[in-house]
Amino acid sequence: MAKQSIRTCPVCKKKDKIDVMVQYEKLPNRYLHPECKEMEIEKFKINQIEKEKKDIFWETLAEIVNLKFVDIPPRIYTLAQNLRSGNPVFNKRKTDKRYRDGFEWDVMTRTVIDSKKKIRTAIETKDFQSIDSALYYVMKIIVNRIPLVHQKMEREKKALEVQKAREASITQEDIENIIRYQYDEEDEKPRKKRKKLGNDISKWL
């Protein structure tokens, strides 16, 4: 009887028989456990979303400062990545507690958009000696404003959740009660004069 091939799963690092493992196109010539493959697929999706959000940030910044994506100096990429990761941005030994968890790329993009006027005014009025120094100053604007923008976005998120919860709390019974309030269901025909709801509907919202 031929000996079954053994492979090491690149995810969990455990060895197993090849006939209980599967292949994944993102990892050519490698064999994974089925559950490990699902983990890798999910990881790939998360990384793709992260990359898309990151690209949107850089595209937005480049557009506002009137630069091409490729013209942004490497040092500025490092500053932004530090802000994303919660690392010190401007050569500080310690990170302010407001920044320790880092900020999502979409929060950073929103900060750029909300700071558009201030950024463009700085670019147009200050005597910068290089693109690097101009964008370094722009990053300072972003870093200073991002905690407030983050708080604003959190408030908007909670307000939206409350609104959705209120909408979801309206049941079929509530709808029937509203209709019953407008029409006299004991009669076959609606009343000639409908009762006005006024602000009474608020008890269902």
Predicted confidence band of residue 3 (pLDDT cuts 50, 70, 90) = low
Is 0.75 topped by the overall pTM? no
- The pair of structure tokens assigned to 199 is 């602000």
Predicted confidence band of residue 114 (pLDDT cuts 50, 70, 90) = very high
Nearest by Cα to 131 from 82, 70, 83, 53: 70
Q: Which residue has the higher pLDDT, 143 or 176?
A: 143
Predicted confidence band of residue 168 (pLDDT cuts 50, 70, 90) = confident
Q: Identify the pLDDT of residue 71.
A: 76
Nearest by Cα to 12 from 41, 36, 40: 36
For the segment 26-35, the average pLDDT, to the nearest whole number, is: 88
Neighbours of 169 (CB within 10 A): 10
Give the span between the Cα atoms of 51 and 43, in whole angstroms. Answer: 12
Beta carbons of 44 and 26 less than 8 angstroms apart: yes
